[in-house]
Amino acid sequence: MLSGIQLFPEEASTFAPKVDALYFFLVAVSAFFVVLIAGMLLFFAIKYRRRSPNEVGAPIHGGLLLETVWTVIPLLIAMVMFVWAADLYFQAYKPPKGPAINVYVLAKQWMWKFQHMDGQREINELHIPVDQRIKLIMTSQDVIHSFFVPDFRVKMDVLPGRYRTLWFEATRVGTYHLFCSQYCGTGHSRMTGEVIVMTPEAYAAWKAGGVSGDTMATAGEKLFTNLACVTCHNAQSGARGPILTGLFNQKVALTGGHPVVADDAYLRQSIMNPGSQVVAGYQPIMPTYQGLVNEEQLLDLIEYIKTLKAMPAVPTVTTSEPDGRAVPKSSARSLPVAPSAQR
């Protein structure tokens, strides 16, 4: 390992060389000013060293020209840095339109759980193909964590109760460190993992050999039925709940408010706190599912809604709750009185 004393991270994403270019520019500017200041200090300190005990300095007060020059020039340099860096930030944090492989990320003390759309689940390891855009939809189950892959130069805090989207495109096959970079308790330094970037062939092979099981969408569909969502959200005309097909990323008109975009966060909010955003033209009768679904199930439901092609038919038999209670069809559940324990 001694021969490989590394002093610089690898450039393994489309973003990394851009960040490094800005970094080197800043290093160069900083080195220039540090050398300049140190040099001038040294030069003046030697040239004007005190030669007799009662010597005093010359009566110089200042110079407006000099003040202006050394205010304006640093300001201009700073503005160059600002604009360059802001442009990079836009690129990093605004996922570009177009196809991407979505992976859901669930952070919890002290591990990373990844859910691929096809149902594959990973813990602390993320397999992705090289040269393809990856979109991570991330949330935390408990405290704030942060998803950080140094070799990609990407990082984003992962928040409880919110979804955040991070995108990147890996450019080199290899295995790269994943760190949690927001202090989250005892196991913070152990909450690390690996991002494994594979050739398309290797990735296909990995996917094929994956654990069989429900895709996220299928799991979501089962939940949709078991939790009686279909009671109100169904294909029947005059159904009590809005249509969900083609809903994702569309504008939705809310009661008494301006339209919002139905993104991941909106869908989560609709399930956890429906009273806060009622679709215009519908009654505020949807009960909250807080305490009845966990974060992983939420992700499955959201994936299901995203892929929904047609609303399900109204069920003709009583459905059962996950806890076994039977729910007669066409019942409207009342609001829960107090929040259930959620820790």
Partner 1 sequence: MTTAVLPRENYLNTDYRLRSWLLTTDHKRICILYLLTITMFFAIGGAFATMIRLSLVNPAGTLVSDETYNKLFTMHGIIMVFFFLVPSIPATLGNFLIPMMIGAKDVAFPKLNLASWYIFVTGGCFTLWALISGGVDTGWTFYTPFSTLSSNTNVSLAAIGIFIAGFASILTGLNFMVTIHRMRAPGMTWFRMPLFLWSMYATSLIMVLGTPVLAITLLLVAAERVLHLGIFDPSRGGDPVLFQHLFWFYSHPAVYIMIVPGMGVTSELIAAFSRKRIFGYEFVAFASLAIAVLGFLVWGHHLFVAGLSIYSAMVFSLLSYLVAIPSAIKVFNWTATLYKGSVSYATPMLYAFGFIWMFTIGGLTGLFLAALGLDVHVHDTYFVIAHFHYIMVGGAIMGYLGGLHYWWPKMTGRLYPEGWAKLGALTIFLGFNLTFFPQFILGYMGMPRRYHVYPPEFQALNVLSSAGASVLGIGYLIPLVYLLWSLKYGPIAGDNPWGAKGLEWTTTSPPPTHNFAVTPIVTEPAYNYAGEQEESRVG
Partner 2 sequence: MTSQAAVAPPRALQHHFDSLEQQRDVATLGMWIFLVTEALFFGGLFTAYLVYRSMYPHAFAVASEHTLIALGAANTAILITSSLTMALAVHAAQEGNQKSIIRFLVFTFLLGTAFLVLKGVEYTVDMRDHLLPGANFAIAGANPGHAEIFFSLYFIMTGLHAIHMIVGLSLLVVIMYMTSKGRFSKEYHAPVEVMGLYWHFVDIIWIFLFPLLYLIDRHK
Q: Which of residues 234-253 bind partner 1 (CB under 8 A)?
A: none
Q: In the bound complex, what is the minimum distance in angstroms from residue 259's beta carbon to partner 2?
A: 17
Label each residue of 192-247 as H, E or C: EEEEEEECHHHHHHHHHCCCCCCCHHHHHHHHHHHCCHHHCCCCCCCCCCCCCCCC
**Pick 241 or 274: Cβ nearer partner 2:** 274
Interhelix angle for 264-272 vs 295-307, to 10°? 120
Quick one: tokens of 240? 């009590």
Which partner, partner 2, partner 1, none, binds residue 45 by CB below 5 to 8 Å per kind?
partner 1
- Please state the closest distance from residue 204 (CB atom) to partner 1, in A: 30
Rounded to whole angstroms, what are the CA distances from 152 to 130, 222, 269? 12, 37, 31
Query: How are beta strands 154-158 and 145-149 bridged, if at all?
Result: antiparallel
Restricting to residues 216-275, name those near partner 2 by CB under 8 A. 273, 275
Nearer to partner 1, 8 or 212 (CB): 8
Q: Which two tokens stand for residue 16?
A: 């990394």
Residue 175 binds partner 1, judged by CB under 8 A: no
Q: Is 3 in the site for partner 1 (CB under 8 A)?
A: no
Contact 42, 177 (CB under 8 A): no
Which distant-in-sequence residues (6+ apart) come within 8 Å of 269 by Cβ?
A: 276, 277
| Contacts with partner 2, 90-129, as mask; x by CB under 8 A | ----------------------------------------
301/157 Cα distance (integer angstroms)? 23
State the binding partner of 84 from partner 2, partner 1, none, CB within 5 to 8 A by kind: partner 1
Task: Tell me which DSSP letter residue 258 carries.
Answer: -
User: ∠116-121-126 over CA atoms, to 5°?
Assistant: 70
Can you tell me which of 11, 95, 101, 109 binds partner 1, judged by CB under 8 A? 109
| Smallest distance from partner 2 to CB 290, Å | 8
Q: How far apart are CA 337 and CA 343, in angstroms?
A: 18
Compute the least distance from the CB of residue 139 to partner 2, in Å: 18
317 is a contact residue toward partner 2 (CB under 8 A)? no
Q: Does 62 bind partner 1 (CB under 8 A)?
A: yes
Q: Shortest Cβ distance from residue 205 to partner 2 (Å)?
A: 47
Taking the least distance from each CB to partner 2, the nearer of 225 and 277 is 277
| Residue 203 interacts with, from partner 2, partner 1, none (CB under 5-8 Å by kind) | none
Pairwise CA distance, residues 5 & 161, whole Å: 41
In the complex, the smallest distance separating the C-beta of residue 92 from partner 1, rounded to whole angstroms, is 5
- In angstroms, the CA 334 to CA 289 distance is 12
Give the H or E element holding residue 14: none
Residue range at the interface with partner 2 (CB under 8 A); choices 6-14, 29-37, 115-123, 334-342 = 334-342
Which of 12, 106, 170, 180 forms a contact with partner 1 (CB under 8 A)? 180
The count of C-alpha atoms lying within 13 angstroms of the C-alpha of 35, restricted to the half-sphere facing its C-beta, is 6
Q: Is 339 in the site for partner 2 (CB under 8 A)?
A: yes
Choice between 237 and 340, CB closer to partner 1: 340
**285 contact, one of partner 1, partner 2, none, CB 5-8 Å limit per kind:** none
Q: Is 288 in the site for partner 2 (CB under 8 A)?
A: yes
Q: Is 298 exposed, middle or buried (0-12, 13-18, 19+ CB in 10 A)?
A: buried
* Residue matched to tokens 């913070």: 188
Tell which one of 11, 85, 277, 285 touches partner 1 (CB under 8 A): 85
Contact footprint for partner 2 (CB under 8 A): 273, 275-276, 288, 336-339
